[in-house]
């Protein structure tokens, strides 16, 4: 639905906009072409994992972007910012990224302890954690693929059987995973869609949209599980700002 909302806004602004499948694109004569003719700008909504798993379907888009023949909004390089390894870098106190004192304090308060999972950790490498330690501290850890989205592959240790956790951790060592420390998730009672609307305890996840330091909106999600991603069973909920009269 959001694809259509964005398209309608752009059309109202006088632009010629088409929603299309990447398999409908052609790169010919130095121009990218779609179902309705030449294309100057692409707003990419394809996730990078889909592009990597189906390279033949995105050849025209990749070739046009590589040739500089099209302006690609949300370019492929932007996916580096979605790579979860950025968290183990930020929580490594031995690295100086030139952050201000306020920014470093924000990292300490809002980014959970994160380490790369390895078979056996080097005691001098503060970015890694070993398999045995992760197995031992199951109830306080989360296991995540370093590059995925939507809660795919995320495992909460405290909700996992000890034997299953050990097997998952052993397999994850070779597949590129991160380990994060458990944080206290927020829960509140919410009315449930049933007769007389009984209350049910749900996890609440509020994610602000920030634009140049100012909040422009909030993504609110509710879930019965600690994983609140919509693709993992969470639900989007509208957020209202209520002021007293």
pLDDT by residue for the chain (245 residues), tens only, comes to: 888 999 999 999 999 999 999 999 999 999 999 999 999 999 998 888 888 889 999 999 999 999 999 999 999 988 888 788 888 888 887 788 888 999 889 888 888 999 999 999 888 777 899 999 999 999 999 999 988 777 788 999 999 999 999 999 999 998 889 999 998 888 999 988 889 999 999 999 888 888 888 888 888 999 988 888 877 778 888 888 889 98
Per-residue pLDDT, 55: 94
**C-alpha to C-alpha distance for 118 and 169, rounded to whole angstroms:** 10
Q: Is residue 28 part of a domain?
A: yes
Per-residue pLDDT, 114: 92
Which residue, 163, 181, 199, sits at the end of a domain? 181
**Do 70 and 92 fall within a single domain?**
no
Per-residue pLDDT, 11: 95
Q: Is residue 22 part of a domain?
A: yes
Per-residue pLDDT, 59: 96
Task: State the CB neighbour count (10 A cutoff) for residue 227.
Answer: 22
Q: Where are the alpha helices (DSSP H) in 45-160?
A: 48-53, 59-66, 85-90, 101-110, 131-136
63: containing domain: 2-79
**Do 171 and 89 fall within a single domain?**
yes
Per-residue pLDDT, 161: 95
**C-alpha to C-alpha distance for 241 and 245, rounded to whole angstroms:** 13
Sheet holding 199-211, edge to edge: 187-191, 199-211, 214-223, 235-237
Q: Is residue 245 part of a domain?
A: no
Buried b (16+ CB within 10 A) or exposed e, 152-165: ebbbbbeebeeeeb
Give the tokens for residue 63: 């070739």
Per-residue pLDDT, 149: 74
Q: Is residue 231 part of a domain?
A: yes
Q: Is residue 244 part of a domain?
A: no
Contact 79, 48 (CB under 8 A): yes
Q: Is residue 12 part of a domain?
A: yes
């Amino acid at each position: 639905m959001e694809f259509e909302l964005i398209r309608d806004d752009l059309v109202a602004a006088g632009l010629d906009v088409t929603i299309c499948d990447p398999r409908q694109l052609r790169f010919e004569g130095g121009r990218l072409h779609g179902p309705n003719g030449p294309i100057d700008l692409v707003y990419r909504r394809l996730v990078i994992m889909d592009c990597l798993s189906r390279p033949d379907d995105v050849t025209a888009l990749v070739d046009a972007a590589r040739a500089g023949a099209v302006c690609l909004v949300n370019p492929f390089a932007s996916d580096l910012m979605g790579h979860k390894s950025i968290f183990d870098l930020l929580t490594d106190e031995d690295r100086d990224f030139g952050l201000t004192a306020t920014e470093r304090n924000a990292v300490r308060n809002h980014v959970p302890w994160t380490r790369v999972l390895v078979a056996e950790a080097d005691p001098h490498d503060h970015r890694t954690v070993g398999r045995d330690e992760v197995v031992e501290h199951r109830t306080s850890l989360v296991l995540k693929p370093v590059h995925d989205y939507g809660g795919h592959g995320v495992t909460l240790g405290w909700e996992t059987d000890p034997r299953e956790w050990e097997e998952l951790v052993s397999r994850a060592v070779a597949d590129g995973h991160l380990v994060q420390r458990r944080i206290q998730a927020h829960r509140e009672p919410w009315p449930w869609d049933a007769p007389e609307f009984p209350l049910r305890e749900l996890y609440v996840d509020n994610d602000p949209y920030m634009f140049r330091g100012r909040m422009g909106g909030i993504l609110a999600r509710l879930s019965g599980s600690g994983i609140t991603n919509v693709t993992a069973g969470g639900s989007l909920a509208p957020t209202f700002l209520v002021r007293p009269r």
